[in-house]
Structure 1
Amino acid sequence: MSGALAAPVEFGPEHMPLGTELVRVLTIGDVSRLKEVLSGEGRTQRADGHVAIKVNGTSSPGAGTGTGSLLGVTINGNTALHLVASRGHAELAAFVCESAPSLVAARNRGLDTPLLCAAKAGSRGVAACLLSRMRSAAGGADEAAALRARNRLGATALHEAVRLGRAGVVDLLMAEAPELASVATDDGVSPLYLAAETRSEQMVRLLLRPAADGTPSPASFAGRHGRTALHAAATFSKDMAQEILNWEPVGPTLLTRADSSGRTPLHFAILHGHLDVVELFLEVHTSIDQTRISDSHGSFPVHAAAIAGSTRILDELVKKCPDYYELVDDQGRNFLHCAVEHNQDRVVQHICQNDTFAMLLNATDYEGNTPLHLAVKYGFPRIVSTLLRNMSVEIGIANKDGLSVQDLANRAITPARWCYFLDTHFIVSNCLCWLGLGTCITPDRRLHPLHQQADPNPTEEGASDDEEHVMLRNGTIGSVLIATVAFAAAFTVPGGFVADDRPSAGTAILARRFAFRAFVVSSIMAFLCSIMATSFLIYGGARENPLSHRIWYKVLASRFMPLAVRCMIAAFAFGFHLVLGDANRGLIVFVYVASLAPLLFCFPDVWIPLQLGLARTVWRRAGWRGLVNIHRRPSSLIQLAQLFMASFLFQYLGGTLLVVLIAAAFAAAIALDISLPNY
């Protein structure tokens, strides 16, 4: 046996290929068969029992058994030792190592050494054999290079064992070559970080296990983008984070280490919503320091908690930093601003209900925007409603540009938004109007001086016009289809007509049935509402009409279209009832229930008052005048009608009442069909 590791065998086209039979034998791991195969390939028996091989016509007594054939490679550059290591044949690996020691450091196309292959396969026996071969060599640079060899992924044998969860190999490598735990990949990922990132607590424990003499683990904690293993553990579990914190003396120091974006492990635990991990981090003596570390955008942990929407974590952080109101980001925003900006309504509600946070409600950022400004700007009606229900929130504050919340609401309304009454910006604007902060749908709202301060952007105007045109076209198509179906239903009534030779010829046969009458009323309502919606959409798209008129036409069309659809669904259910007859009562009940489902769930305006709490907000701020949208005496009946049609009661109560009436009619039809079949 040579005293040192032979020169590494690199893959190349000049190497001889491994024979087919030899590959098969190496794959199945048959040592005796391998010796038989090699015995027929030019071997001679020496007096001392070793086998000499003739390579290129010469005998190499020190080369070992079968060297000439074993130095071949497969098409992927795998040597005989690669094949054996990949399949976990420990006995055969020892034989090959003895026969061809140079193969221990050989690399294939992927730059994997046999040790890397053994680590991937999870073969502790093969890995132990290879390590023993490396240790038995003279050592030095060759041994270190072979042991620390990295493949094309930049991974060492320990990386691969950790990544694939090969606990036996990791345990062996940490016992025999713990220095591998300090080697990182090309992108800076250490085995410990990889273990935490793959959420393997077992691997973390193995990598952090101290040596037999009590020496701490030499593992590196480095990870991607400047993160540490504790950053990765904080996103997973408390137990893993505790393992790393127990790693003395390094573990506790990782709590205040920030990554390339300035975030500490506490930031990561908060953003992933792990309350138990946050509590663990805050129990240590550096808790106050952690809560005062901001990221590259100036966001503190309290900002992260608000963004993540966790009120419990937020309360824990506030306990550690009583001057939380002083913690603002690079834009001067406190955590209430951040909660509003990220639409975390639960956090906003929690803050509004807690008097401790009262000083945050009207705080302004560096642009002069309060949380209410941001909620209006981004169009979050639930948050606007929540903030306005707190009477401490002031609604008359202007920002740095002199804009009030109503000004921001006006700016957000584009022509296309008038086409859809469930648009969030539209709801926010109307909510402010119901509180008396402005006038709903005035002729010159879009001509407000604030809209003329900035130079118009032709590209944005063109995109808005295209969006408006598409919405008007789609709405017109839908309303025309409903009108067509409702019109046809008048002349193809269910049940047919009385024959000409009978009394009341030409009339509907089922005309006296309750379901038939309900069918007729629903069809008429669907037809009339759709016709009006069609007309208003056509008028609203005509540029010749004044802007104020076009806005009104669009708004009215957006009101009549849902009514037409609801009535059409009701007509379908009543018509189906008449067709099914008395023999299919189970199906009749199913039809009514199935038809009621879209009425409740496909028209959000039915639930908006309950979901957003608009009614409570308007009542608390403006009373009954806000609900009917009459804050001062109207100058004419026309103005009174306009104000009422833009009111909360008209916009949301009408649709809700219609659904209630339809549901009551469904229930009455079922009850009458059971109790009075002929009615």
Structure 2
Amino acid sequence: MAEAPEMASLATNDGFSPLYLAAMTGSAPTVRALLRPSAEGTPSPASFSGPAGRTALHVAASVSKEIAQAILGWEPQGLTLLTRADSSGRTPLHFAALYGKLDIVELFLQHCHASSLELASISDNSGSSPLHIAAMVAETGIIDELTKGWPNYYELVDDKGRNFLHRAVEHGQETVVRHICRNDMFTMLLNATDSQGNTPLHLAAESGNPGIASLILATTSVDMGITNKDGLTAGDLARRARAIGLRRYFLNPQTVLYNCLRWSRAPFTLEGDLGLQVDREKDKIARAKKEEENDNIAPAEEEEEEKDNIGEARAIASVLIATVAFAAAFTVPGGFIADDRARAGTAVLGSSFAFRAFAVSDTIAFLCSIVATCFLIYSGDARRIPRSKHSWYRRWTSGLVQAGAQFLIAAFAFQLVLGVAVNRWLIVFVYVACLASVLICFPSAWVPLNFGVGKAIWRRAGWRGLVNIHERPSTLPEFFHLFTDSVLYKALRRPLFALLISAMFVAAIVLSIALPNY
């Protein structure tokens, strides 16, 4: 560089300068050498250009604080690069936020000639500020740094009129939403509307993200009744967003979200009802058009065929469980007491905890599978059973087969333990392995508990919201109907048997260690 400093001012046809390449490779010594002034004190003539209008400081913002600091100290060009935007309108601060470089963000804000708020408020071609970028990539530390000492941060919106909470909801960043909801300084964002009148809750409802919606609903300062420019509330959008074929599927995120809003007593409007009717008519037209395009193969027939296939699989599973459970009942572990002894003909191990647990588990597994088999028969009886009841029988069959399988695993564990009772650690292994299979083989039972729906409903509607009884029911059937449609019932009915089996396994493990002969 001392002999040919002008070489640093050259760039390739693609716009790559030596300084840009050195910063991109993370070579701090090379960057300092390129920026070093001559012996006479003449500033370095190095070019800072890069592709797409970016500068060396843009790439340094995504690589290293040391390199960024060296470029900022380059006289007289360095500090001027802070506000220079690339072809997409992004400054180096945008890149530092995008790559989660909190230390570089702090460095840029400290070295800005103008106000740090002015630098942080520069938007790119889509109207996104560094604050929007930080929310998009879930960098809460950078969000706090950018909003520090900035009272009007909530006025910073993109081309769609959305603030950085809108952006976090749009990109499904639960970490950012949780951080904002727990921080009182961000209260102004919670009910802010974009250019279409949508609040963050509207966007969460429309995108079908129950986790984010629950976080927002759990913040009581959020107004559930705000309508957008179409006159729709968040509840209306959630109701319209549900897929036609998955509305009753308890794991469908859009269904979970809609139920959360409904149990929280979110308002629904007449415009939403009318829009729902229009959507249903459009669905009918689309189904009819699809039927014509598929050579008159009715979608309803395809759905019936799919239901038949699922029914056959459930029938095989229920019959198999019943067969195994029935056989296990007559294969008593440990055998029977001889006729010449007291209590002749009874089970030798009948007084042990494991045997009692085996008897209970095997009985429940057998009964669940038998009832499931009967319900499957009813669900296919089109002559004597009303068609409207078929889906009810199918839903119950699904839960009964699952419960039967869980208790069959438990019965297997207790029967196996009774045969290897001499080895304590083998007993513990059997219990732990079977407990894991009960919990892991049916993960769908635990999914509704992960959305935080219960907390949001509790804060909005209290215990009445949890049991879905906001007013005193007039009849017992009405009470039963309301309760079976509540979050408490839906959240507990599926993992209930898994919890009971887990409790039995834990008790068995404790007894096998503390009282080996019990």
Query: Normalised by the size of structure 1, how large is the TM-score?
Result: 0.65
- Tell me the C-alpha RMSD between the 2 structures: 3.8
- 2:240 is the counterpart of 1:411: yes
* Match for residue 336 of structure 1 among 161, 165, 185: 165
Q: For residues 381 and 70 of structure 2, what CA distance do their matches in structure 1 show?
A: 70
Query: Equivalences for 1:255-654 in 2 at 5 Å?
Result: 255-283=82-110, 284-286=112-114, 287-319=116-148, 321-418=150-247, 420-437=249-266, 448-452=276-280, 454=282, 456-458=285-287, 473=309, 477=313, 480-481=316-317, 483-492=319-328, 510=349, 512-529=351-368, 552=392, 556=396, 559-560=399-400, 562-579=402-419, 581-600=420-439, 603=442, 611-634=450-473, 636-654=475-493
Q: Aligned partner of 1:370: which letter?
A: T
List alignment gaps of at least 5 residues for structure 1.
Answer: 1-173, 440-444
Maintained 8 Å contact 1:516/1:575: yes
Name the CA distance, whole Å, in 1 between partners of 2:58 and 2:382: 58
1:375–1:322 CA distance, 2 compared to 1 (3 A): same
Distance apart, 1:474 and its partner CA = 5.5
3-state SS in 2 of match to 1:583: coil
- Change in Cα spacing, 1:575 to 1:223, as seen in structure 2 (3 Å) is farther
Once the two structures are TM-superposed, the CA of residue 338 in structure 1 deviates from its matched residue by: 0.8
Residue type matched to 1:316 in 2? E
How has the CA–CA distance of structure 1 residues 610 and 202 changed in structure 2, closer, same or farther, with 3 Å as cutoff? farther
Residues 290 and 531 of structure 1: CA distance in aligned 2, closer, same or farther (over 3 Å): farther
* CA distances 1:437-475 after superposition (whole Å, capped 9, x unpaired): 489xxxxx9994253364653499889987997698458
Counterpart Cα distance in 2 of 1:567 and 1:460:
47
Q: Is the 8 A contact 1:482 1:526 kept in 2?
A: no
Counterpart of 1:240 in structure 2 is: 67
Please state if 1:215 is matched with 2:42. Answer: yes
- Cα distance, 1:604 vs. partner? 5.0
Q: What are the Cα deviations for residues 621-641 of structure 1, in whole angstroms up to 9, with x where unaligned? A: 111211111123445443332
Question: Where do residues 61-72 of structure 1 align in structure 2 (5 Å cutoff)?
Answer: none
Deviations 1:97-141 (A, max 9, x none): xxxxxxxxxxxxxxxxxxxxxxxxxxxxxxxxxxxxxxxxxxxxx
Aligned-residue offset at 1:201: 1.9
Say which is worse superposed, 359-368 or 446-455, in terms of deviation: 446-455
Q: Which moved more, 1:520-529 or 1:227-236?
A: 520-529
On the 8 A contact 2:319/2:370 being kept in 1, the answer is yes
Distance 1:447 1:378, change over 3 A: closer
The residue type paired with residue 662 of structure 1 is I
Map of 1:152 onto structure 2: none
Counterpart amino acid of residue 192 in structure 1: L
Between the aligned partners of 1:361 and 1:430, the Cα distance in structure 2 is 21
| CA distance in structure 1 between the partners assigned to 2:459 and 2:314 by the alignment | 38
The corresponding residue for 1:31 is none
User: Which amino acid in structure 1 is aligned with residue 364 of structure 2?
Assistant: M
The 3 A distance-change label for structure 1 pair 532 and 320 is farther
Q: CA deviation at 1:424?
A: 1.9
The alpha carbon displacement at 1:241 in A equals: 0.9
Q: Does 1:193 align with 2:32?
A: no
Query: Partner of 2:108: helix, strand, or coil?
Result: helix
Q: Deviations over 1:588-635 (max 9, x none)?
A: 101212233344556556665764333222122111211111123445
Contact 2:31 2:67 in 1 (8 A): yes
Rounded to whole Å, the distance in 2 between the matches of 1:216 and 1:538 is 89
Q: TM-score, normalised by structure 2?
A: 0.83
Distance of aligned partners of 1:180 and 1:468 in 2 relative to their CA distance in 1, 3 Å threshold: farther
Please tell me the residue identity of whatever aligns with 1:484.
L
Q: Is the 8 A contact 1:410 1:446 kept in 2?
A: no
Contact 1:352 1:387 in 2 (8 A): yes
Q: 1:219 aligns to what SS in structure 2?
A: coil
Specify the code of the residue in structure 1 equivalent to 2:465.
G
User: For 1:582, what is the secondary structure of its paired residue?
Assistant: coil
Cα distance, 1:472–1:182 mapped onto 2, change above 3 Å: farther
* Cα displacement (A) at 1:316: 1.8
Deviations 1:643-675 (A, max 9, x none): 212212212233454333222211332344456
Aligned residues: 500
Cα deviations by residue, 1:366-410 (Å, 9 ceiling, x for unpaired): 222111111112222222111112221111222222322222222
- 1:376, 1:384 within 8 Å by CA — same for their partners in 2? yes
- Secondary structure of 1:491 counterpart: helix
Question: Which of 489-498 and 232-241 deviates more?
Answer: 489-498
Q: Which amino acid aligns with 2:468?
A: N
Q: Report Cα offsets for 1:23-58 as digits up to 9, x if no partner.
A: xxxxxxxxxxxxxxxxxxxxxxxxxxxxxxxxxxxx
Task: Give yes or no for contact 1:235–1:272 (8 Å, CA) kept in 2.
Answer: yes
Is the 2:71–2:78 Cα contact (8 Å) retained in structure 1? Answer: yes
Gap change, CA 1:591 and 1:369, over 3 Å in 2: same
Letter in 2 for 1:612: F
Q: Conserved in 2, the CA contact under 8 Å of 1:419 and 1:471?
A: no
Q: CA deviation at 1:279?
A: 0.6
Report matched runs for 1:96-115 at 5 Å.
none
Note if contact 2:322-2:369 (Cα within 8 Å) is conserved in structure 1. no
Q: CA deviation at 1:571?
A: 2.7
CA contact (8 A) 1:419 1:558 kept: no
SS in structure 2 of the partner of residue 359 of structure 1: helix
Residue identity in the other structure for 1:627: L
Change in Cα spacing, 1:272 to 1:246, as seen in structure 2 (3 Å) is same
Q: Which moved more, 1:214-223 or 1:633-642?
A: 633-642
Asked if structure 1 preserves the Cα contact closer than 8 Å seen for 2:354 and 2:418, the reply is yes
Q: Of the two structures, which has the highest relative contact order with CA contacts closer than 8 Å and spacing of 6 or more? A: 2
In the aligned structure 1, how far is the partner of 2:427 from the partner of 2:367?
27
Stretch moving more, 611-620 or 550-559: 550-559
| Contact kept in structure 2, 1:630 and 1:643, CA below 8 Å | yes
* Residues 191 and 220 in structure 1, CA contact (< 8 A), matched pair in contact too: yes
Which structure: larger Rg?
1
Contact 1:499 1:506 in 2 (8 A): yes
Distance in 1 between the 2:289 and 2:508 partners? 52
Runs of at least 5 residues in structure 2 that lack an aligned partner in the other structure: none
SS at match of 1:488: helix
